[in-house]
Structure 1
Amino acid sequence: MVMRTIIALLVAAAGAWTAITYPMIGDVLYRTTMATEAFVYGFDKKRKRLGELDVVYFEAENTDKPVILMLHGYSADKTVWLRFARHFTDEFRVVIPDMAGHGETEFNSAWDFSVEAQSKRLVDLLDAMNIDAVHIIGNSMGGFISADFALRFTERTRTVALVDPAGVASPVPSEMEKMLAAGRNPFLVNNREQFSEFFSMTMAKPPWLPGVVLDAMAQDYQQRKPQLDKIYEDLQRSASLEDRLSQLNKPTLLLWGREDKLIHVSSVDIWRANVPQIEVTIWDGIGHMPMLEIAGESAERYRQFLVEQTP
């Protein structure tokens, strides 16, 4: 009887230890993999203090080269750009920040996370790095910020590239917009099942990730739910781009995945009709994050665009 009790306690303890450490293992595995990729691709992880905010970013430091500034989307972080960005490290100085409240950059519920505030922080970052002007590219929320940045800080902008950007209302509602209309934000998850549903909406062709990593990501989203909720509320207060698009006078590239479930591809019509100097590429069978789903192909399209803008 005593032996059975001891065995039962050991089994229970092993189960509890596994439950506690399992997501931690996935988190460590993911972070280690991303750090290794960054190193192999020639990126250093750095920090800049901007007043009360400590910004963490990747940089491929080619001091005398033109600068590309790459911005991730809502709830994502700087690592989503790595496989795309590696194609530019020989010819450009590439900077990929974690936006405020994302990744390794700090969050404070008292801060403003609107698009306008994030654009201003980018200027502060460029000033701290002694960078005059950039080629700016952003995905989703990062695309919204990129366009806003180019409109507000024209003299700091060389070109603009937007990858499935937010910022305008799509004529056809996306799956996410239908969920939001029904009162549920798919980014705010309460369990593993909701995370799986959300993750399947982000890409049509996601890179393979082991289950332990996906479980760790699911736990991370659950833990960050209050933080993401605050950021989302601030983003909703941001001024729409639609009335300002005609003022976007920089060479602009718009990239989109036709299977995007977060922002419907019909948004392309709004951008194309209003931005004076715009080129558009739409990929069939690709979702919200072409720079991850088809990193090489999307990087080649961006490189072609940059070459076209070189005097």
Structure 2
Amino acid sequence: MMQKSSFTVMFLLLALLSISACSRHDFYETAIGLERSAAGLEADTITVGKLEIAYLRNSEMNNGDNIVLIHGFGANKDNWTRIARELTNGFNVYAIDLPGHGDSSKPLDIGYGLEEQVRHLALILEALGINEMHMMGNSMGGGITALYAATYPDRIKTAVLFDPAGILKYENEMVDMILAGNNPLIPSKPGDFERLMDFALEKKPFIPWPILGVMEEQALANQQVNEVIFAAIREAGYGSEFRNTIKRIKDPVLVVWGKEDRVLNYRNGEVFQSIIPGAKLKVLDGIGHAPMIEAPEESARLFLDFAKPYLSKAG
């Protein structure tokens, strides 16, 4: 027993020494790599026109259906690793860094309205050879997913919208903050990223300080492109035009919304449900703007239960 305890203490000391000898960025890359590996994912890139697109995919492909995951504004592909742990055994998962985000190219002049982002996404999926898929999207990615389903109905088997953007019949405190010139979604100074996490997530996962620090550096470095993207989305408006487009959706749609969402009011879920033919709605108590991060197991179970009638026999 003493030997085992001594070995454990020595191991922890060696681990601490190893960490202290590494930079924060080394620690971040190692931690992110372990998180991806535990989810059965690995990183890859593909060139689409003039854009370099980063994405995550299964380390080992299988005979299951494809799932394409679309992150929200200012986010990236790694927002999906927690839910991907529940899915990669039976599905081929693709988490995309949209242009302007993550490790993908970040030009300022390609157009970032939701409809334009749907066109970018279509070219990316065509380049990856993905012709049929289940698609999940969060926030901005939820709005993109809805528009993609309306535009390419033959390619979508099911769609899951996590706290989707596109409809603002019911407003949250974020709107007042933006109108006051204080956008909580675009960090501009030290401390803003942690404030964003507190604002967006009701049930925050533990993030060690070295990782949080690097994530803040990345967010601050992306301030200019984030401002361009946000302005493009806001300028487009997506009032009646967005609603009229998603009325055309023929695919099975599940809307999942965190009741404590301070970014987009959960009551907008009822509007999505009323507009999209046959859509189902699930509101999660105690969850904020990103259910797939805050409640990954439950989010995966909701998808699996919903998608079961539409899965291929191989899946």
TM-score interval, normalised by the smaller of the two chains? 0.7 to 0.9
Q: Which residue of 1 aligns with 2:160?
A: 161
For residue 63 of structure 1, report the CA deviation from its aligned partner.
Answer: 5.5
**2:64–2:91 contact (8 Å) kept in structure 1:** yes
Q: Which residue of 1 aligns with 2:114?
A: 115
* Matches for 1:137-152 after TM superposition, within 5 Å: 137-152=136-151
Q: Which residue of 1 aligns with 2:266?
A: 265
For residue 131 of structure 1, report the CA deviation from its aligned partner.
Answer: 2.0
Tell me the distance in 1 between the aligned counterparts of 2:268 and 2:129.
35
Tell me the distance in 1 between the aligned counterparts of 2:197 and 2:23.
20
Tell me, what secondary structure is at the counterpart of 2:286?
A: coil
Map Cα deviations across residues 184-231 of structure 1 (whole Å, 9 max, x no partner).
Answer: 211222322333322211100110112232233223222221111011
For residue 30 of structure 1, report the CA deviation from its aligned partner.
Answer: 2.6
Tell me the distance in 2 between the aligned counterparts of 1:79 and 1:69.
13
CA RMSD of aligned residues (A): 1.9
Tell me the TM-score normalised to structure 1 length.
Answer: 0.87
Does residue 76 (structure 1) correspond to residue 71 (structure 2)? The answer is: no
Structure 1 residues without counterparts, runs of 5 or longer:
1-21
**2:38–2:85 contact (8 Å) kept in structure 1:** no
Q: Which segments of structure 1 move beyond 4 Å, counting only runs of 4 or more?
A: none
For residue 42 of structure 1, report the CA deviation from its aligned partner.
Answer: 1.9
Tell me, what secondary structure is at the counterpart of 2:263?
A: coil
Letter in 1 for 2:98: M
**Closer, same or farther: CA 71–183 of 1 in aligned 2, 3 Å:** same
**1:139–1:163 contact (8 Å) kept in structure 2:** yes
Letter in 2 for 1:216: V
For residue 260 of structure 1, report the CA deviation from its aligned partner.
Answer: 0.4
Letter in 2 for 1:223: A
Tell me, what secondary structure is at the counterpart of 2:186?
A: coil
* Matches for 1:78-117 after TM superposition, within 5 Å: 78-117=77-116
Tell me the distance in 2 between the aligned counterparts of 1:48 and 1:215.
28
Tell me the distance in 2 between the aligned counterparts of 1:43 and 1:161.
21
For residue 47 of structure 1, report the CA deviation from its aligned partner.
Answer: 1.1
Residue identity over aligned pairs, in percent, reads: 28
Q: Which residue of 2 aligns with 1:4?
A: none
Tell me the distance in 2 between the aligned counterparts of 1:209 and 1:44.
21
**1:27–1:217 contact (8 Å) kept in structure 2:** no
Question: After alignment, is 185-194 or 278-287 more displaced?
Answer: 185-194
Tell me, what secondary structure is at the counterpart of 2:86?
A: helix
Letter in 1 for 2:282: T
Tell me the distance in 2 between the aligned counterparts of 1:211 and 1:62.
34
**1:170–1:263 contact (8 Å) kept in structure 2:** no
Q: Which residue of 2 aligns with 1:248?
A: 249
**Closer, same or farther: CA 196–38 of 1 in aligned 2, 3 Å:** closer
**2:270–2:281 contact (8 Å) kept in structure 1:** no
1:210 paired residue among 208, 211, 215: 208
Map Cα deviations across residues 273-310 of structure 1 (whole Å, 9 max, x no partner).
Answer: 11111111111111001111111111111111111334
Tell me the distance in 1 between the aligned counterparts of 2:43 and 2:214.
22
Tell me the distance in 1 between the aligned counterparts of 2:23 and 2:236.
38
Question: After alignment, is 197-206 or 231-240 more displaced?
Answer: 231-240
Q: Which residue of 2 aligns with 1:12?
A: none
**Closer, same or farther: CA 277–69 of 1 in aligned 2, 3 Å:** same
**Closer, same or farther: CA 155–216 of 1 in aligned 2, 3 Å:** same
Tell me, what secondary structure is at the counterpart of 2:288?
A: coil
Tell me the distance in 2 between the aligned counterparts of 1:256 and 1:26.
34
Question: After alignment, is 249-258 or 185-194 more displaced?
Answer: 185-194
Q: Which residue of 2 aligns with 1:47?
A: 45
1:29 paired residue among 3, 27, 30: 27
Tell me the distance in 2 between the aligned counterparts of 1:220 and 1:263.
24
Letter in 1 for 2:102: G
Tell me the distance in 2 between the aligned counterparts of 1:246 and 1:218.
38
Tell me the distance in 2 between the aligned counterparts of 1:129 and 1:215.
33
Question: After alignment, is 156-165 or 243-252 more displaced?
Answer: 243-252
For residue 239 of structure 1, report the CA deviation from its aligned partner.
Answer: 5.6
For residue 68 of structure 1, report the CA deviation from its aligned partner.
Answer: 0.6
Map Cα deviations across residues 217-257 of structure 1 (whole Å, 9 max, x no partner).
Answer: 22322222111101111222446222333212210000010
Q: Which residue of 2 aligns with 1:284?
A: 285
**2:112–2:229 contact (8 Å) kept in structure 1:** yes
**2:254–2:279 contact (8 Å) kept in structure 1:** yes
Tell me, what secondary structure is at the counterpart of 1:265?
A: coil
**1:78–1:98 contact (8 Å) kept in structure 2:** yes
Tell me, what secondary structure is at the counterpart of 1:189?
A: coil
1:220 paired residue among 213, 218, 221: 218
Tell me the TM-score normalised to structure 2 length.
Answer: 0.86
Structure 2 residues without counterparts, runs of 5 or longer:
1-19
Number of aligned residue pairs: 288
Q: Which residue of 2 aligns with 1:18?
A: none
